[in-house]
Structure 1
């Protein structure tokens, strides 16, 4: 287990990272802190992959394992009131990446102290998980060709699960996702004479309702899929029918066929509704992350190790949220893991301006990392 002084120091790293959040591909201070600590413990440190990524390696030959932590923050104004709250207006660690980083650093310190005799370990501190696909960039820039790994694993704190829970499903963990922006255009005019203008606002409203119903009407009830309209921007005055509206949102799915169907039908709905209101519409639809799918053997290993630690590894359903660790799992066998991190009493969810990583679970995650490395390199 971990020395209490080392745990306290890891909590201090976490709080320091929380005070200084940095957005995707801008994690300069964060990367320097990580690299400096790892070098001090004897890791071979490499920087610059995906701009601000840090990759560290220990050991030679034999089996190899990759451990990933995401390091970026979110563009959210913090509302926690914590003593160590964000000092950067409009930015905060609202997803616990500060905790993931501290957790892997604490494990790295112990792994280095105990040594790696058979095989090698690669630590992947990945930038830009939130929307920008830092994992994709790292893979495209040669992550696994420069730092070969047999398997790769990632942990995410999960406030929807109690501490003491560890979940790694044999298959789907997180959904694929796309973003869309629909621009609707038509004649504008006076609100008192709507017959002299096109129904831009009405078209936007009908699209919002129809698109969110699309999965229920076009996918089997047994096939998960969701479309969420999250923004409608239009109008400038009470008495003006606008000539332009923008509707934006996201789509989520697991099966590739479901993703294809959602994209096809979304475009059909948009064009049909626009035409019915005498408007024109264009759709910008971008697929961002594939589904996060675990390898069954690696997920089973995670559960065995969790059970040996006394953790509850009972299965729960997948999440329709998304995760760019999927790009790494598309390249290598591995598993994405949820670590229960709920707080007693008020327990804000991920991406809330009130969210704060639960420091009590930091040693649990670090201990799991150490045991996973031992098991993987003993194979």
Structure 2
């Protein structure tokens, strides 16, 4: 076992994790969670804690020695609009909202590292702990950056990490270059004419039009994206009507569009616009597309990725570090931070279990001290 793991306050990390899991808050609404994090950090002593960055973001700064290098470590803390279907003693107490991506675990790991770093100060330089809201909606990272994150709190490099079910428990996975896709979250409204389900000739059915849109859109990637590239269009929500004998007046479709090249992104989005418009019109409906905050491809700096992987190998052993590791079509607004500062983002395997965003997803608490130990090792190695 890594020596740092044995020194960490695992009991406290468990307490923080279970508290946040019980009290989840949606993206950019995390006022109570932010206050809880800031209060916890101040109890450690030694940190300069700044709050309200990009609405609910927090930066905690700790200095040791006379070194002039600065490292940034980032964790997210927003929850998802999903009803949890677990039966833990610490399950979500908020109906329809739950930490089903592990952001409560990410924050607990960084808090565990923060406590240890404040107690030991076994580094020479400055560490800035960045606690970010709004990752799930791609709002928090850009909001903190726009609020002067890196001008007010300069760093030489910035690092992030995410738990991944299905990857081997306790192992770290590093991938240089493009690691995660850009994402565009859109909402489409198709408007028809509602009426009686037994008199369809007096209606214009948006469900039929929407169904045609769904099927047509599935041809975009398979027929237009080169097999060597990667993209996916997911329609995760189709909302229309409340009764089987009523033709709805409108239908809402919610899209998650993921691409890995600027050219494919432009092509896929253009084809979605065309299909939505033409398919809706062909059924006599009108349509409106509401575009969300666009994401970005997450690109890891090759040098910083190699450096972080070497530090992890020294701390945990070469057999616990996969380099190069996998890439995914999931998305992360940490990508925006990597556009401003060099750094890298890694995955921490959490072993078997439901994938993130599943109603029965369960964060593996056994990896809390592992993730915290990585943050400590990275800080001490980078600020040697």
Could you state the TM-score of these two structures normalised by the residue count of structure 2? Answer: 0.90
Contact 1:211-1:229 within 8 A present in 2 as well: no
- Cα distance in structure 1, aligned partners of 2:210 and 2:232: 19
Give structure 1 regions of 4+ aligned residues with deviation exceeding 6 angstroms.
none
Aligned to 2:150: 144
Aligned to 1:48: 52
> In the TM superposition, what whole-angstrom CA distance separates every residue of 1:164-210 from its partner, at most 9, and x where no partner exists?
32112101222111122222234556656655654533321111001
State the TM-score, normalizing by the size of structure 1: 0.91
Per-residue deviation, 1:148: 0.1
Alignment: residue pair count = 375
Mapped contact 1:43–1:58 kept (Cα < 8 A): yes
Which structure 1 segments of 5+ residues have no match? none
Give, in angstroms, the shift of residue 150 of structure 1: 0.9
Offset of 1:262 from its aligned partner? 0.8
- Cα deviation for residue 246 of structure 1 reads 2.8
Match of 1:58 in 2: 62
Encode CA deviations 1:294-334: one digit per residue, 9 max, x unaligned. Answer: 11111111221222212131434321111111111111101
Asked whether the 8 Å contact 1:133–1:288 carries over to 2, the reply is: no
Please give the alpha-carbon distance, in whole angstroms, between the structure 2 residues aligned to 1:189 and 1:87: 39
1:81 is matched with: 87
In structure 2, what is the Cα distance between the partners aligned to 1:18 and 1:244?
Answer: 36
* Secondary structure class of the residue paired with 2:359: coil
Partner of 1:6: 9
Q: How do 1:165-184 residues align onto structure 2 when only pairs under 5 Å count?
A: 165-184=171-190
Question: Contact conserved, 1:306 with 1:313, CA < 8 A, in 2?
Answer: no
Aligned to 1:307: 313
Any unmatched runs of 5+ in structure 2?
none
Q: 236, 248, 263: which one pairs with 1:230?
A: 236
- Cα RMSD between the aligned structures? 2.2
Deviation at 1:139, TM superposition (A): 0.5
Greater shift, 29-38 or 100-109, is seen at: 29-38
Which position in structure 2 is the counterpart of 1:245?
251
Q: Which of 130, 135, 141 is 1:129 aligned to?
A: 135
